[in-house]
Amino acid sequence: MLAIIAAFAAILAVCQGATFTIAPYNTSAEIGGNGTIACIVTNLGSDSVNWKKKNGNSLTSLTFNGNVLADATKYAVTGQYNLTIMNVASSDEGTYQCVVGSQTLEAYFSPVCKSFNLPNNVSVYWASSPSAGNRVNATCKSTYSNPPANLRWYLASNDVNTNQPINLVDKTSLAIYNTENVLSSGYGDAVSNLPLDLVSSNHGDWLICEVEFDGYYDVMNYTMQINLKYSSCLPSWILDMELQESSHRES
């Protein structure tokens, strides 16, 4: 008799289909943090759970059951079967769907601004005069921001037609970053030192230091054109070649 009752309960559960214990609801999270949209499902049976994001008239599949189909550094399935969005950015805003069998429930996700205070000043300077054939340290300093800013370095070529930076190359991984003068209020300075092995072809290039906060990029920057000093200790024919190359690049 008990076996018959258990079998009947199982058949009834299948007939009823999946149950949303907690249905998706509109959710917000701070930019730079993580946000989770709920979708807790029981009585799943043979149904699958899929998360999708609306993009205009199209849909992007993000997950299938516990598997991430999109960027695994961006999305994760937590619990039964919540969608966690990591390192929230403004581009994550939109409508998300939790699809279970023939049922589709939607929620709107809203990234919200994280509070920060811009630095009073950003500066870039050389530890010594930059010259071809030498390693020189460039220093970027952001003063009195809350929290101390993140600093990103770019080395860029010069567009001879506009005298503006082009073809930016990220050099941040080569730099040494630290914070200074951090107060209990959260305000402080940030300093980044970038070693550069300069060659004559770097004359006229650009060095850019960008100020960042979690989820916010290039909120301020300092851009400096590289003007190399040529050593008189070099043989005259090498010096002439370097000066001619520099003159050609500037013309």
Alpha helices, DSSP H, located in the chain: 2-16, 236-250
Segment 139-162, tens digit of pLDDT: 999 999 999 999 999 999 999 999
d(CA 132, CA 100): 63
- Pairing state between β 135-145 and 75-78: unpaired
pLDDT on residue 227? 94
Bridge partners (DSSP) of residue 11 are none
d(CA 251, CA 1): 96
Q: Reduced to 3 states, what is the DSSP secondary structure of residue 195?
A: strand
Transcribe 134-191 into DSSP letters: SEEEEEEEEEEEBSPPEEEEEEEEEETTTTEEEEEEE-GGG-EEEEES--TTS-EEEE
To 5 degrees, how large is the angle CA 83–CA 26–CA 18? 55
Q: Which domains does the chain have, with CATH numbers?
A: 18-112 (2.60.40.10), 129-250 (2.60.40.10)
pLDDT on residue 115? 80
d(CA 156, CA 165): 5
**Do the Cβ atoms of 194 and 137 come closer than 8 Å?**
yes
Bridge partners (DSSP) of residue 82 are 78
Closest of 94, 106, 99 to residue 69, by C-alpha: 99
- Pairing state between β 216-225 and 94-100: unpaired
pLDDT on residue 23? 93
Q: What is the pTM of this model?
A: 0.56
pLDDT on residue 215? 73
Ranges of residues in the chain whose predicted pLDDT is under 50 = 1-15, 232, 234-251
Provide the token pair at 55.
């993009």
d(CA 134, CA 140): 19
The residue type at 243: L
Residues whose CB falls within 8 Å of the CB of residue 228, separated by 6 or more in sequence, listed in order: 130, 131, 132, 198, 200, 202, 203, 246
- Pairing state between β 135-145 and 188-197: antiparallel
